[in-house]
Amino acid sequence: MRELNMVKAINDALDVMLAVDPDVLIFGQDVGYFGGVFRATDGLQARHGQKRCFDTPIAESGIIATAIGMGAQGLRPVPEIQFADYILPAFDQLVSEAARLRYRSGGEFWAPITVRSPYGGGIFGGQTHSQSPEAIFAHITGLKTVIPSTPYDAKGLLIAAIECDDPVIYLEPKRLYNGPFDGHHDRQLATWAGHPGARVPEGRYTVPLGKAAIVRPGDDVTVLAYGTMVHVALAAVEETGIDAEVVDLRSIVPLDIETIVASANKTGRCVIVHEASRFGGFGGELSSLIQERCFYGLEVPIERVAGWDTPYPHAFEWDYFPGPGRVASALRRVMEND
Amino acid sequence: MRELNMVKAINDALDVMLAVDPDVLIFGQDVGYFGGVFRATDGLQARHGQKRCFDTPIAESGIIATAIGMGAQGLRPVPEIQFADYILPAFDQLVSEAARLRYRSGGEFWAPITVRSPYGGGIFGGQTHSQSPEAIFAHITGLKTVIPSTPYDAKGLLIAAIECDDPVIYLEPKRLYNGPFDGHHDRQLATWAGHPGARVPEGRYTVPLGKAAIVRPGDDVTVLAYGTMVHVALAAVEETGIDAEVVDLRSIVPLDIETIVASANKTGRCVIVHEASRFGGFGGELSSLIQERCFYGLEVPIERVAGWDTPYPHAFEWDYFPGPGRVASALRRVMEND
Amino acid sequence: MANRPPLEFHVPEPPARPGQSASFSHLVVPEAGLVRRPDALASAAEMRDLPFELIRVLDGEGRAVGPWDPHLAPEFLRRGLRAMLLTRVFDDRLFRVHRQGKTSFYMKSTGEEAIGAAQSLVLEPQDMCFPTYRVMSWLHARGYPLVDMVHQIFSNARDPLRGRQLPILFSARDYGFYSLSGNLGTRYGHAVGWAMASAYRQTDSLALAYTGEGSTAEGDFHESLTFASVYRAPAILCITNNQWAISSFAGLAGTRDSTFAARAIGYGLPGLRVDGNDFLAVASATRWAAERARANKGATLIEFFTYRAAGHSTSDDPTRYRPGDEAEHWPLGDPIERLKQHLIALDEWDEDRHAALTSELEAEVRAALREGEAIGTLGRSKPPLSEMFEGVFAEPDWRLIEQRVEAGA
Amino acid sequence: MANRPPLEFHVPEPPARPGQSASFSHLVVPEAGLVRRPDALASAAEMRDLPFELIRVLDGEGRAVGPWDPHLAPEFLRRGLRAMLLTRVFDDRLFRVHRQGKTSFYMKSTGEEAIGAAQSLVLEPQDMCFPTYRVMSWLHARGYPLVDMVHQIFSNARDPLRGRQLPILFSARDYGFYSLSGNLGTRYGHAVGWAMASAYRQTDSLALAYTGEGSTAEGDFHESLTFASVYRAPAILCITNNQWAISSFAGLAGTRDSTFAARAIGYGLPGLRVDGNDFLAVASATRWAAERARANKGATLIEFFTYRAAGHSTSDDPTRYRPGDEAEHWPLGDPIERLKQHLIALDEWDEDRHAALTSELEAEVRAALREGEAIGTLGRSKPPLSEMFEGVFAEPDWRLIEQRVEAGA
Ligand SMILES: Cc1ncc(C[n+]2csc(CCOP(=O)(O)OP(=O)(O)O)c2C)c(N)n1
Ligand SMILES: Cc1ncc(C[n+]2csc(CCOP(=O)(O)OP(=O)(O)O)c2C)c(N)n1
Ligand SMILES: [Mg+2]
Ligand SMILES: [Mg+2]
């Protein structure tokens, strides 16, 4: 089967959806003629026409408002926000409108929109091209939040998101666009070539929202991660030799609580990894859910490895980024404290 | 000593600060001539003049942007957002600008602003006059978030916030404006009269940010709460007769980790209460911090009592609101599971 | 630098506050019939004068004059009158019902009934309005069942919005009425997106958006105009300038030396400024804008100049921030009275018929209220508790299923 | 309904894309000197024509003509020329430095150097500019040390911003240069707040705000204009319309049939449209707006009509979205060349001096670079790790203290 990198897999999902569903429209800053600053929409305008894939003004709130209004009439808009850092101007539209429309209207209107946005660090993008905002979305009732970690999942999850009748925030770990980056920035960088997750079927298929993937089965400790951190975690597991079970959440809302609880009950140890700053991050929710549901099976405290509680700092990229070294230390700690 | 209700105590704090510091300016929708829809700025324009306390356009992002620009020059603006639900249009200004200005400018500029806003439910305000957004602020590096539960604290914390050189989100539990509401909506409502927390000194005093208050010492279980939930928790403790230690966090950033850890270590049991919806709420952070720091002392799982994971529903006000009944059940559960 | 006068910090104030005498002397109210009516398909660049005029059709004697006279049939006018009167009667009654503690909240449209009513009747069934809480006459004009309004206002077991929404924040898709919400300004852009979808799908459903003049200050207003301009969306974008935003006067929204309609100029859109208390002028401007939109010439911005004759809502007392008699000085009169006089002048109406209609509508409202109260007022009846957990998503996830059990629903 | 043509979904496109021939035939470029210059203190309502004109001072022969001629001293003009040239030399050099992998990012102001340079020199030391990344000539005109720029661009141990910020997102309070950030549009409102504070405190510090034309679409732009209008803020609000926003043409920001300057009309502000490649016109318009602001007449909106001659940043290749030779067709010329010709026409400059100045500036830039490289390029030198944890708050809380220990800083 053909291999694609993650940008191409996303492009392919959009291409497929434009072809199969005339209600799908793609728009955002520079996504039309230019094909997007990360090339995710490359060629789509040429293939499907200017009315299916087009540029928008630099107005994130307006982009989402437009998408909601279109969605309310029956379209399935897939707006892009150029960087997840720039979702914030549209936060009110997402929370007060997209997330609440179905509920408050008694089901008369809803917003079947999928907001794509590259997120996360590791690219020396500085404060406003590196942040990971998933925790603030996870708290919003009525929103779904999806984060792929491989090209295969990226395509399947994106199609599932577009077909879903709820508003979905689809965060793309931009550090994974070109390869399964494991945090070893100082080593030879791997591309997606040869990676099993890069085998992307043609045509339409879905990866269901709300189903985690056990990307490495293991017995000793459960590692919960998503996005880039899945690969960082795998590297850390490899390097420590600990028999960890690495769970890729794939979507944080809906959350696959069954898989999480089953794994934690099996291992009795848990490390949660995310790029976002720690305090108030999504790791807190994961940690409390496990604590609530697996308390008597836990051998040691659940650990969180995350970004520091500082803004994302340009020069200190690799000090801030929760790399394999920090994950490995946490793994060793939870195994030590026996 | 004179007694004030919470609105009057807030009004008094603003009055004091306008008098002692010419750099303090108060503005927001309807706060000037009219004195605010909750009367928090009543009389301030008449006393201090139109240039010290004035109305703004209906533009929350503009209000905060204006405050930041003023703050950068040296003023201490105290903008009001009429309801915390309406902070969302200003979220980007708070996160990308107020919270980050000092850091990114190498300390050349900062935003010593205090954003006051009534929050929380229990007033049949429906979806957009009832929400509790504290969790999304707690996750933002560079922001402080303060929530009083008594008139005394309201005044002292507000003065401390205004004098603080960092941006502070000051959330006012509107259900407490007129009395220490304990969730028993069907009983005679208490006013602040006679409540020890209603004794508010004249003039300037501060309650430091980052210091929790043990509002009821106890040995059996730690209850963490803030805002209205402090009074709900106290009622539930009273009704169960359980010897709980009730901790009023007062500010969630900075968080008084010492008091929390000391109490949890003492009791080995913990119930966290907040109005905001549970998933991704601030309770998750509290629960994980305790789990991380007091793991070996915990007797039973930490419980969270919170709003359901639905939007705030008008007709179901008292089904949604985490009242003393639900807190009492949680208290009994953590004591039972012995 | 030394010789300069110091900078002055300017904080604007309305012409009069309580205790001062009410005044609208700052408003220039031109005669009816004087404003030119360009072809609806003409270029926006040729209409930059219009936002500084005031389009009026009904003159002081109740006659329709000038190029904007829409020449509406008497039957149409009577439907408009009925809708406006019904709105007024319903509002007065429900406001009292709130005072009796039977619901949590209410807002009146008093003095502004012409806008929603005329637009509702001029536009077509497939068109969609993106309302504010101040255009309930749209629904009354389209015959939305009063009893369903009452159920919603009581959040009772028959509430079409399942108890989830504050009173009067209706949603009525079949009546061309988009879901309302308490937060201001955000739906303006939905209207533009809706209109773009109409163009894309060729559904011929225009979008009509409303905002209060105070709410124009929100960034969403600007982003919506930008999108409407860029994609030539078939939308009619309305500003109901009722002079007040709770306690703040219209000057606080930034049109000193300008008008709200003039915002259109910077986006290359036509901007009309219309007497909002003149049913005929509202209908005529709306028809013009609809013709333009349906001809693929894009959006029009319309400022309706009107006056909020009542308080903001059940939560405020307007005499605390404006002269108590200000409404009496309002120079553009009452929209119901003016349409009534016009119909009488046309010999198509009389005082007796008006009194009869009023009694009929009062009876209708009373009957609807009785029916609603029989089901239950706020807190005495509500939809099943399970409704709290429905509609968050298309399908509930485990959290909602677990919590529903926990809540005993 | 049956007879109507179907609705059309309109998506605008620029006049030419790669492979098509570049064209600016849609632009009307009037002669220099023709636009009237009203008194700076006149009412905004009397100036509604100005946003549709183009204020130009330098004519085709390098002469200053018309009422907007600011009559600047040759010395002042030479300072302007130097600042612009320095900006160009620095940009070209640092762009190459990025290509060498010595830093992560760079952006040039090529073709737009007149704007920041003229405004920096016309305004006073106490005035504060709220920049975009495209007005670095402001700093060059005020003599900000090149080596500090280089340290910042390398995020090295001497970086004045302590390694925390992306290259060129400077902050330089002493040079009247407010903290830049990567997110667009948000500081426009800070400028208005700053100006209001100036008025309140009588500090006589005007605020000058910049936005790109693409970024005017953000809601913040509108909210800022609204506040500026309401409180008569002593601010100069600039739009640098350089025709492009990455790959999007200016038409995507919603001024079909209008201009960016015309946005001013709806707020009752004066709106000037100015040849941004004409140093004299920029200086003159700025002086006019500053006079107005200092006289408590409030804010002015100025659109600078210019052209982004280079790519957006080091991350893009403009030939992928616009004709490769488009810059050559730009009708308003190069700002450096035009000021140079003017000085030569005045007999205050010549080619030799110009060549000498260029070499001198190149040497300065080389020296600064050498000094910066000696400290270290990106990744080879950085501030102490403790700086990552400083400046989050005025004082770190326990989280930062604990984490600093954990990070070994
Ligand atoms: C985003 C937001 N900000 C503030 C409010 C509070 N609020 C409710 S109505 C209102 C005044 C609105 O005035 P206007 O837009 O003129 O409409 P009107 O009530 O006059 O019809 C305000 C400030 C709100 N509901 N939403
Ligand atoms: C809020 C936000 N949205 C999007 C971006 C991505 N972005 C960076 S520059 C740019 C184009 C800006 O164009 P313009 O305002 O015309 O300024 P110019 O680059 O032409 O000077 C975009 C879309 C951003 N940085 N911030
Ligand atoms: Mg109003
Ligand atoms: Mg540009």
Q: B159 vs chain C: nearest CA distance in angstroms?
A: 25
Range 163-192 of B in CB contact (< 8 A) with D: 164-166
Ligand 2 mean position, distance from CA B91 (Å): 19
Q: Which amino acid is at A326?
A: R
- Domain limits at B187? 6-198
D400 close contact with A: CB closer than 8 A: yes
Cβ contact D218–C223 (<8 Å)? yes
* Start-to-end C-alpha separation, chain A: 45
From CA B240, how far away is CA B320, in angstroms rounded?
21
- Token code pair at residue D92: 């070209």
Q: At residue A338, does pLDDT exceed 80? A: no
Within a domain: B206: no
Same domain, A154 and A221: no
As a whole number of Å, the CA-based R_g of chain D is: 22
Whether the link from the prior residue into C125 is cis, omega within 30° of 0, is no
C-beta neighbour count of C40 within 10 angstroms: 17
Which residue in C166, C219, C388 is closest to B89 by CB distance?
C219
Final residue of a domain: which of A173, A198, A223? Answer: A198
Same domain, B180 and B305: no
From CA C88, how far away is CA C213, in angstroms rounded?
22
Read off φ and ψ for residue A159, nearest 5 degrees: -65, -40
**What's the pTM value of the predicted model, to 2 decimals?**
0.99
- Residues in chain B predicted with pLDDT less than 70, given as ranges, are 337-338
A257 close contact with B: CB closer than 8 A: no
Cβ contact A33–D321 (<8 Å)? yes
Tens-place pLDDT, residues C158-212: 999 999 999 999 999 999 999 999 999 999 999 999 999 999 999 999 999 999 9
Any atom of ligand 2 within 6 Å of the Cβ of D214: yes
Q: Going edge to edge, which strands form the sheet with B213-216?
A: B213-216, B244-248, B221-225, B270-277, B303-307
CB D245 within 8 A of CB D313: no
Interface test with A, best of C393, C402, C406 (most A CBs within 10 A): C393
Give the total number of structural domains in chain A.
Answer: 2
Within a domain: A206: no
B210 close contact with C: CB closer than 8 A: no
From CA C207, how far away is CA C186, in angstroms rounded?
15
Under the banding of pLDDT at 50, 70 and 90, the label for residue C23 is confident
Q: A291 vs chain B: nearest CA distance in angstroms?
A: 6
Closest atom of ligand 2 to CA, residue D253: 16
C44 close contact with A: CB closer than 8 A: no
The ligand 1 site (C-beta within 6 Å) comprises B 29, 58, 82, 86, 89; C 132, 134, 182-184, 212-215, 242, 244-246, 308, 312
- Structure letter (DSSP) for residue B241: T
Residues near B255 by Cβ (< 8 Å), separated by ≥ 6?
A: B210, B249, B289, D397
Can you give the residue ranges of every domain in chain C?
A: 44-315+322-378
Same domain, A241 and A149: no
Over residues A305-329, mean pLDDT? 98
pLDDT of residue C2: 59
Cβ contact A92–B96 (<8 Å)? no
Chain A residues in contact with D217 by the CB 8 A cut-off are 57-59, 62
Strand pairing partners for C58? C64
CATH number of residue B177's parent domain: 3.40.50.970
C-beta neighbour count of B307 within 10 angstroms: 24
Ligand 3 mean position, distance from CA C308 (Å): 7
Chain A residues in contact with B100 by the CB 8 A cut-off are 127, 311
- Residues in chain D predicted with pLDDT less than 50, given as ranges, are none
Same domain, A254 and A329: yes
Ligand 1 mean position, distance from CA C246 (Å): 7
pLDDT of residue D3: 76
Under the banding of pLDDT at 50, 70 and 90, the label for residue C28 is confident
Same domain, A165 and A244: no
Cβ contact D403–A309 (<8 Å)? yes
pLDDT of residue B337: 58
Instruction: Give the 3-state secondary structure of residue D293.
Output: helix
Q: At residue A163, does pLDDT exceed 80? A: yes
pLDDT of residue D4: 86
pLDDT of residue C1: 52
β B270-277/D207-212 pair status? unpaired
Same domain, B135 and B240: no
Read off φ and ψ for residue D15, nearest 5 degrees: -60, -30
CB D310 within 8 A of CB D318: yes
Range 309-338 of C in CB contact (< 8 A) with B: 315-316, 320-321
Same domain, B131 and B272: no
pLDDT of residue C80: 98
Cβ contact A88–B92 (<8 Å)? yes
Instruction: Give the 3-state secondary structure of residue A46.
Output: helix
D220 close contact with B: CB closer than 8 A: yes
Final residue of a domain: which of A198, A222, A244? Answer: A198
Final residue of a domain: which of A198, A233, A262? Answer: A198
DSSP D28-43: --PPTT-S----TTS-
Over residues C28-49, mean pLDDT? 97
Ligand 1 mean position, distance from CA B34 (Å): 15
Any atom of ligand 2 within 6 Å of the Cβ of D312: yes
Cβ contact D105–A59 (<8 Å)? no
Task: Pick the residue whose CA is nearest to atom 17 on ligand 1.
Answer: C212
How many contacts, defined by CB atoms under 8 Å, are there between B and D? 142
Length of chain C: 409
pLDDT of residue C256: 83
Ligand 1 mean position, distance from CA B98 (Å): 25
Read off φ and ψ for residue D177, nearest 5 degrees: -130, 105
How many contacts, defined by CB atoms under 8 Å, are there between A and C? 142
Cβ contact D388–A314 (<8 Å)? no
Residues near A20 by Cβ (< 8 Å), separated by ≥ 6?
A: A204
pLDDT of residue C4: 85
Cα separations in angstroms, A309 against A321, C78, D392, D406: 12, 66, 9, 12
C164 close contact with A: CB closer than 8 A: yes
Pocket test for ligand 1, best of C135, C241, C246, C305 (most atoms within 8 A of CB): C246
How many contacts, defined by CB atoms under 8 Å, are there between A and D? 129
CATH number of residue B255's parent domain: 3.40.50.920
Over residues A66-75, mean pLDDT? 98
From CA C291, how far away is CA C287, in angstroms rounded?
6
Quote the CATH superfamily of domain D44-315+322-378. Thiamin diphosphate (ThDP)-binding fold, Pyr/PP domains (3.40.50.970)
Chain C residues in contact with A93 by the CB 8 A cut-off are 186, 189, 220
Range 11-70 of A in CB contact (< 8 A) with C: 25, 51, 56-57, 59, 61-62, 65-70
Cα separations in angstroms, B306 against B282, B332, C409: 10, 16, 17
Over residues C42-68, mean pLDDT? 97
Same domain, A162 and A228: no
Q: At residue C217, does pLDDT exceed 90? A: yes
Same domain, B25 and B152: yes
- Residue carrying structure tokens 């070294």: A325
Same domain, B268 and B157: no
Which residue in D4, D226, D255 is closest to C217 by CB distance?
D226
Same domain, A125 and A239: no
Range 3-32 of C in CB contact (< 8 A) with B: 9, 11, 13, 17
HSE toward the beta carbon, residue C406, CA cutoff 13 A: 20
Ligand 4 mean position, distance from CA D308 (Å): 7
B253 close contact with A: CB closer than 8 A: yes
D267 close contact with B: CB closer than 8 A: no
pLDDT of residue B338: 56
Ligand 4 mean position, distance from CA D285 (Å): 20
Within a domain: B251: yes
Cβ contact A57–D254 (<8 Å)? yes
- Structure letter (DSSP) for residue C51: G
Chain B residues in contact with C155 by the CB 8 A cut-off are 314-315
From CA A126, how far away is CA A317, in angstroms rounded?
8
CB D108 within 8 A of CB D128: no
Range 103-142 of A in CB contact (< 8 A) with D: 124-129
Cβ contact D264–C266 (<8 Å)? yes
Count Cβ neighbours within 10 Å for each residue of A14-43 and write b for 16 or more, e otherwise: bbbbbeeeebbbbbbbbbbbbbbbbebbbe
C255 close contact with B: CB closer than 8 A: no
From CA B108, how far away is CA B102, in angstroms rounded?
7
Active site residue B184: no
What are the catalytic residues of A? Answer: 129
